[in-house]
């Protein structure tokens, strides 16, 4: 029987892609950089690669934050401060929130039946602003942010910290739900709990990371939970 659900935040509960595009567009325009489709796409590619390196412990969080802009500006020969770009971007990203379709309704249903927790690798200041805006603490028992813990998903130490803070925690009664194979699902496997991969982009899984369940809509979560209880 499942009694505890760990939810990833970005692109599982909140629409990070939309928030990122809006914040990045504002930052670039503030710096007199035209946010063309080409530069926005390349930023996303560089940013994703930098976060993957962080997950593997190859670089630090601060190196991710400024390095993505330094690499982008170097590639496009843009004379601009990476630190300034990051500062403006983070300020805008932490304002407001955008729920994914059906996410808030799902939380409203589940929080009366399960203990819900948020587990996120995002920047602490940014996440706190979005979490407050979305009123996520109305639904969740607690929220765990990797920057505050000192370890990132999928590290076992991240989950050990979370588990120690959850009253009467049992791995057999817990599940993690997230959109990232390398962060959420691998993290759940490392931690020894069941995993549900929210594959809303219909990505073909060619990796060695194998989730227990795969969904492409949040509507599929409730039937899976019912089958486990």
Structure tokens at 193: 């709990």
Q: SS3 of 109, please? A: helix
Would you call 8 a catalytic residue per the annotation? yes
- What are the tens digits of pLDDT across the range 168-191? 999 999 999 999 999 999 999 999
- What are the tens digits of pLDDT across the range 188-220? 999 999 999 999 999 999 999 999 999 999 999
CA distance 198 to 5: 14
Question: Cα 184 to chain center, whole Å?
Answer: 8
- What are the tens digits of pLDDT across the range 46-103? 999 998 899 888 999 899 999 999 999 999 999 999 999 999 999 999 998 999 999 9
- What are the tens digits of pLDDT across the range 20-55? 999 999 999 999 999 999 999 999 999 999 988 998
Percent of the chain with pLDDT over 70: 100
User: What pLDDT score does 228 carry?
Assistant: 87
User: What pLDDT score does 122 carry?
Assistant: 87
- What are the tens digits of pLDDT across the range 111-168? 999 999 999 998 899 999 999 999 999 999 999 999 999 999 999 999 999 999 999 9
pLDDT at 223 over 90: yes
Q: Report the mean per-residue pLDDT for the chain.
A: 95
pTM value is: 0.91
Residue ranges and CATH numbers for the domains of the chain are 4-15+98-228 (3.40.50.1000), 16-93 (1.10.150.240)
Residue with tokens 């940013």: 47
Catalytic, out of 3, 8, 15, 142: 8
- What are phi and psi for residue 201, nearest 5 degrees? -95, 5
Residue 187 CB partners (closer than 8 Å, separation 6+): 119, 153, 154, 155, 158, 159, 176, 178
Question: Which value, in Å, is the radius of gyration of the alpha carbons in the chain?
Answer: 18
């Amino acid at each position: 029987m499942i009694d505890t659900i760990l939810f990833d935040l970005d692109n599982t509960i909140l629409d990070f892609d939309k928030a990122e595009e809006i914040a990045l567009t504002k930052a670039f325009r503030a710096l007199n950089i035209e946010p063309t489709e080409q530069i926005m796409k390349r930023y996303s590619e560089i940013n994703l690669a930098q976060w993957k390196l962080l997950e593997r412990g190859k670089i630090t969080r601060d190196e991710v934050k400024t390095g993505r802009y330094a690499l982008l500006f170097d590639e496009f020969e843009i004379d601009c401060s990476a630190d300034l770009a990051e500062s403006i971007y983070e300020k805008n990203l932490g304002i407001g929130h955008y729920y994914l379709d059906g996410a808030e309704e799902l939380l409203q249903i589940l929080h009366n039946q399960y203990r819900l927790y948020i587990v996120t690798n995002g920047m602490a200041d940014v996440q706190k602003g979005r979490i407050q805006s979305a009123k996520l603490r109305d639904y969740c028992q607690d929220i765990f942010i990797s920057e505050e813990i000192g370890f990132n998903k999928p590290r076992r130490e991240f989950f050990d910290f979370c588990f120690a803070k959850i009253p009467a925690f049992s791995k057999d009664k817990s599940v993690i739900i997230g959109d990232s194979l390398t962060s959420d699902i691998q993290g759940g496997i490392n931690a020894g709990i069941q995993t549900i991969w929210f594959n809303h982009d219909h990505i073909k899984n060619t990796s060695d990371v194998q989730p227990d369940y795969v969904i492409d809509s949040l509507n599929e979560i409730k039937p899976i939970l019912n089958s486990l209880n």
